[in-house]
Amino acid sequence: MQSFPLLSVMAFFPLLGIPVILLLPQSKASYAKWLGLVFTLPSLALGVVLYGSYNRELAGVFDPASFQFIERVPWIKTFNIEYFVGIDGLSVMMVLLTVLLCTLCMVASFSIKQSPKGYFSLFLLLETGMLGVFISLDFVLFYVFWEVMLLPMYFLIGVWGGPRRVYAAIKFFLYTLLGSVLMLVAMLAFYYQAEPHTFDLIRLIQSDFSGVTFDMFGRVWDFSRVMFLLLFIGFAVKVPIFPFHTWLPDAHVEAPTAISVILAGVLLKMGTYGLMRISYPILPESAIWFSGALAVLALINIVYGALCAMAQQDLKKMVAYSSISHMGFVLLGMSALTETGMNGAILQMFNHGTITAMLFLLVGVVYERAHHRNIDGFGGLAANMPVYAAFTGFAWFAALGLPSLSSFISELMCLLGAFNAYRTITIISASGILLGAAYMLWSYQRIFLGPLNERYRGLADISTREVLSLIPLAAIVILVGIYPMPVISLMQASSRALVNLTTLGV
């Protein structure tokens, strides 16, 4: 299996569907949704093969021999740029999450009527861009996929979004492009500082940038710390970390349902993945230097995001702010630089992706029927939509960290990992769980309980297609919550290697 180009086929197969969809006659445009699904399913099937074939004992992170499914060919020889892809425990979770959510989002997008050929073609391009980010081991290749992902997301929000879609799309694009420019500067600096000049992430990790300085603006700067800050801002925009978060609520509110799922489920994880894949292993001393500040930012994300969620009247915006809060636990686990904390951070990335996907899919269900998302505008929907109320209740409890559901174990691991390193911050951060329960239960009470709002007596309950897009996610939430070891075993060796590399230099 290692000789088969599994990662390339998985990443690029969706592109084959784009010309097929675009060549559809206009009278057959409605078939685009089925073609989109057909060209997404093989990547999901290869994801299942990947899960079964992945060697859980190899560490990855900095040893080229321990990356798996490697494909490596020269690309631009003049600058030592290669097509170099592979996965380890840091990326395998994100690859599996991406192929799963893209398939479910294809199903959830069947209700798209406006220009379906354009929508599903751009979605397939988006899937390739996201998968490429998670499998790239060459910095230029990573950057190319990172930028490729921007284009379809801009149009998917700007064309198929809500009333303020153009504003939200431009804001998303500009914020992300700012981060990309800073990342580009760091990438060029690494290339010229490394000996020999290279964009190979593994060789950059093996290079020593400690003690390197440079002159600019009349003073001497520490190379490692400046590069870490440039990369941090670039990745912080994507997470998003306060104060670079303001694009997220606008983008979520205006984006179509499936695109909101991808935004929260996959794109937010690219920021924390970038820190783990690039910033921490290449610049370990700066990662330690910045760890206290990251813990503080994690606390701000957790508490501020939860308080903002509690203040929202728009259901989708509430879920968007809850994502900011829950991603704070990922940052907290990373800041501790402990194996437990890092495992918790990676697991929280995966768990949050599945849970928030359920939340946004459920918001889309009620919006398609009622044509608004005002929490106080509903009331008593459980009487009229009992199956929908049951699924929503399950997702709400999963999001607030109910024991035996997946987010409980990952948030617990983040708190356990950070407790000894940042005890006060960790104790205050735990209040985010209480705040999460408050805004989730309060919103559920206003939407589903009490007397039925007569305006919505005729609303249809959740459909079979909508249930099918939720069941796989609900099953994962339960299984990981009850027995997380099959998932933890995928990442454990790599997270241990990353912590050792960062803290011990080995």
Q: Tens digit of pLDDT per residue, the chain (506 long)?
A: 557 899 999 999 999 999 999 999 888 888 999 999 999 999 999 999 999 898 887 766 666 667 889 999 999 988 989 999 999 988 999 999 999 999 999 998 888 888 889 999 999 999 999 999 999 999 999 999 999 998 999 999 999 988 888 999 999 899 989 999 999 999 999 999 988 899 999 999 888 888 888 888 878 888 999 999 999 999 999 888 988 888 888 888 888 989 999 988 898 899 999 999 999 999 999 999 999 999 999 999 999 999 999 999 989 999 999 999 999 999 999 999 999 999 999 999 999 999 999 999 999 888 888 888 888 888 888 888 899 999 999 999 999 888 999 999 999 999 999 999 999 999 999 988 899 899 999 999 999 888 888 888 888 888 898 899 899 999 999 999 999 999 998 888 888 889 988 887 65
Q: Phi/psi zone of residue 211: left (φ > 0), alpha (ψ -120 to 50 degrees), beta?
A: left
C-alpha pair distances (Å), 416 with each of 374, 380, 413, 420:
37, 39, 5, 8
143: how many CB neighbours lie within 10 A of its CB? 17
Give the C-alpha separation, 323 to 309, whole Å.
9
SS3 314: strand
Give the C-alpha separation, 496 to 222, whole Å.
28
Give the C-alpha separation, 297 to 26, whole Å.
50
Helix 116-135 × helix 89-108 angle, to 10°: 170
Report the run of H or E that residue 85 belongs to, with start and end: strand 81-87
> What distance, in Å, lies between the first and last C-alpha atoms of the chain?
30
Q: Where are the domains of the chain?
A: 292-506
Give the C-alpha separation, 300 to 29, whole Å.
47
| Closest residue by Cα to residue 353 from 345, 363, 341, 342 | 345
